[in-house]
Amino acid sequence: MTEGVHAAPRGTLVDRALRKLKGGTTDSLTLARDVLGLAHASRAIAERVAVALLGSDPRVRQIHDGRWALAADVAGTPPLAAATFAVVDVETTGTRFARGDRITELAVVTLSGGRIDVALETLVNPECPIPSFIASLTRISNDMVRDKPTFGEIADDVLAALAGRVFVAHNVRFDWGFMASEVRRSRDLDLEGPRLCTVRLARRLLPGLKSRGLDSVAAYLGVEITDRHRARGDAIATAHILRHLLERAEEQGILTLADLQQLARRRRRRKSALPKSMEEL
């Protein structure tokens, strides 16, 4: 039977507001319209109503620009100047970790206070053959990885390099997906924590750029990529790109990690989480 109009428990207005804020910071006008049903509320009225509803709730904070956020999110987000980023790049046997593709090389490059350092880089034995077209693209052959450590043998080093840092990658769902899959396989642990995508940030901060592929963004910002399609070279280039993007974000008044994540989440339409080909990485 087709589902039509029906009644369902909706909870209190505060509960609905909290659910809304789980998706990110929200201004008073949006809360008034989407949560309270005040479709025609003025900004001034919306502000007064939001303060009356949420102002004394310890679970909620009104941040510096007037938007509302969950207190836990505000407390857990540092100023951008104080954040440390782990910029990650992985080379793999293919584009689908869910179908058994594995990591062949990884690099973790840190960005902190404007300084870029290589925290970890290594070839990885994927425990499966590398397809010839992938070997041609990455210049990583089966012979090169045969005697290298498996991910399980370096998992502790990887987790140490990521610990306490914001995970960043160019098309972050690709690199995060592979890293999370390998951590789950080798340690039976879920990889959790804040992450940022330089593709999404470039969309918002470089609106005049038609392509947000790594080569295009790097060329636009004057970043040189050495050893393309190798983990160290791509990760270092992404770290330099991130540094440029952070400077542009701060020029626009984006001063906290939460604000930057909110900016990165804004997009017009949903696109595939994975690249169509290895050339897009």
Q: Which of 6, 64, 170, 229 is catalytic?
A: 229
* Structural domains in the chain plus CATH codes: 13-75 (no CATH), 80-280 (3.30.420.10)
**Catalytic site includes residue 6:** no
Report the C-alpha gap between 73 and 61 in whole angstroms.
9
Q: Cα dist. 278→164, 228, 274 in Å?
A: 29, 12, 10
Q: Quick one: pLDDT band at residue 75, thresholds 50, 70, 90?
A: low
Average pLDDT over residues 253-270: 77
What pTM does this model have? 0.70
Task: Tell me which of 281 and 57 has the higher pLDDT.
Answer: 57
State how far the Cα of 92 lies from the Cα of 84, in Å rounded to an integer.
26
Q: Is 12 exposed, middle or buried (0-12, 13-18, 19+ CB in 10 A)?
A: exposed
Cα 232 to Cα 113: distance, rounded to the nearest angstrom: 20
Q: What is the largest CA-CA distance in the chain?
A: 68
Residue with tokens 């992450």: 195
pLDDT tens by residue, 183-204: 999 988 888 888 999 999 999 9
Average pLDDT over residues 33-55: 86
Whether the pLDDT of residue 9 is over 70: the answer is no
The mean per-residue pLDDT over the stretch 146-159 comes to 95
**Structure confidence at residue 270 as a pLDDT band (50, 70, 90):** very low
Helix axes 231-251, 198-205, angle to 10 degrees: 40
Contacts of 200 (CB under 8 A, 6+ apart): 172, 264, 265, 267
pLDDT of 46 = 87
Type of residue at 63: I
- Residues 106-125, mean pLDDT to the nearest whole number: 96
- Per-residue confidence band for 70, with pLDDT thresholds at 50, 70 and 90: confident
Identify the residue whose tokens are 């969309």: 203
Instruction: Give exposure, 99-134, as e/b (b: 16+ Cβ within 10 Å).
Output: eebbbbbbbbbbbeeeebeebbbbbbbbeeebeeeb
Q: CA 37, 41, 47 angle in degrees (round to 5)?
A: 100
- When pLDDT is averaged across residues 97-122 and rounded to a whole number, the result is 95
CA-CA distances (angstroms) from residue 90 to 31, 246, 272?
A: 40, 23, 19
Task: Provide the 3-class DSSP secondary structure of residue 116.
Answer: strand
Residue (of 190, 198, 118, 193) closest to 163 by Cα position: 193
Which is more confident, 206 or 193? 206
Split at pLDDT 50, 70, 90, the class of 281 is low
Mean pLDDT of the chain: 86
**Mean pLDDT across 243-272:** 80
Q: What whole-number distance in Å separates Cα of residue 38 and Cα of residue 9? A: 20
Higher pLDDT, 179 or 276: 179
| 277: pLDDT strictly greater than 50 | no
Q: In this structure, are residues 125 and 150 in contact, taking their beta carbons and an 8 Å threshold?
A: yes
For residue 105, the cross-strand partners are 91, 123
> What percent of the chain is modeled with pLDDT above 70?
88
